[in-house]
Every structure is written in structure tokens, then in C-alpha cells.
Amino acid sequence: MKKLSLHELGRISVEEFKGAEKIPVCILLDNIRSLHNVGSAFRTADAFRIEKLILTGITGTPPHREIQKTALGATESVAWEYFESTLAALEKLKAEGYKIVIVEQTTDSIALQTFEATPQAKYCLVFGNEVNGVSEEAIAHGDLALEIPQLGTKHSLNISVCLGIVLWEVFRKTHLS
């Protein structure tokens, strides 16, 4: 076994990425405080070649040194939009045919592993603020809520970790099965 070189990984260029087919998923960041979490969202979005990132409210936007530090250039490949209002973003996404999937512990949330993802469906995965979670306004406009089962005392994951787990599961169910 040996580690693969950058050449052996077969990475595509930013221009090739922009022209490549995307999976019909977008991520909405609902008032995210940490610029490192925003950068991580860009990098994860690039890894799974999703359609776009939606940044709302107080969520920082590129170009910013702290976002770039974590994104490692993914702000150049991943399409993104900014909305002052989470509600306005959700209304636009619904009009574009996205199913709004809230990632939050709610009275009606289902365990991530039981989520039946449809390959042809368009999903918008909504991730919330590091302290307050997904806003009540966003929850009210969700089509369903997912949660990651947890056994510890915190019942909370860093948004970048949560985002990676959820996006992997959606990708696995829609594009690897």
C-alpha cells in the first residue's frame, strides 16, 4: 500500500468542476457564526460536487481569509448565493423544486439512516447556528427533519462534522446504490 500522489488522484480543474454534472443537492447555512465552518462547508460541497451553497443571515461570505483557510480553494469551484433572509432563500429553493430537509432534532425528525433518499429528487440540506441550531422560521418551512443518532451526553456535533456525515449519507443513498 502507498499513498496516492496528487497526479494519481485524478483531480479535475476548477473549470472542469464548474462544467461537470452536479448532484441535485444544495446546502443552506442558516446564520452560521464560524468562518471555519463556512470554509469547511465549501470544501465538503466540492468533495461531493453538489450544486450550490446558500449562505444566509450572519453567515460569512467569501472572500475572507478565515473561510479560505479551511476551504482550500473550494470557494472558487462551488457555486454559492447569499440571502439576508433564510425565509427568502427557502422560498426560492422551494420554487426551484428542492425538498427542504432540516438537519435538526425536532419532534418529527427521523434518524438519518432511515431516510429514503430518491436519486432524482432535489434536496436542500439546512444546517443551523452553532448555538441555537436551525431557526424556527426555517423549521416551519421544512418538508422533513433528519437527525444523526447519538449516544453521548452532548447530543450535538460541530456543524462541519454533521454536514459531512449527512452529505455522505445522502450521496451514498442517491449515487452509490
Of 11-15, 29-33, 94-98, 140-144, the poorest mean pLDDT is in: 11-15
Integer angstrom CA distances of residue 91 from 72, 109, 140: 31, 21, 12
* SS3 state of residue 14: helix
State the fold for domain 27-147+154-175: Alpha/beta knot (3.40.1280)
Residue 175 pLDDT? 85
**Does residue 52 surpass a pLDDT of 90?**
yes
- The average pLDDT across 74-81 equals 97
Residue 152 pLDDT? 92
**Does residue 169 surpass a pLDDT of 80?**
yes
pLDDT band at 148 (very low <50, low <70, confident <90, very high): very high
Average pLDDT for the chain: 95
**Does residue 86 surpass a pLDDT of 80?**
yes
**Does residue 87 surpass a pLDDT of 80?**
yes
What is the edge-to-edge ordering of all strands in the sheet holding 122-128?
80-83, 50-56, 23-30, 122-128, 98-103, 144-147, 110-111
Q: What percent of the chain has pLDDT over 90?
A: 91
Cα angle, residue 48 at apex, residues 159 and 71 outer, rounded to 5°:
55
Q: Are 23 and 50 in contact (CB under 8 A)?
A: yes
Residue 162 pLDDT? 97
Q: Name the nearest CA neighbour of 174 among 54, 90, 50, 55.
A: 50
pTM of the predicted protein model:
0.95
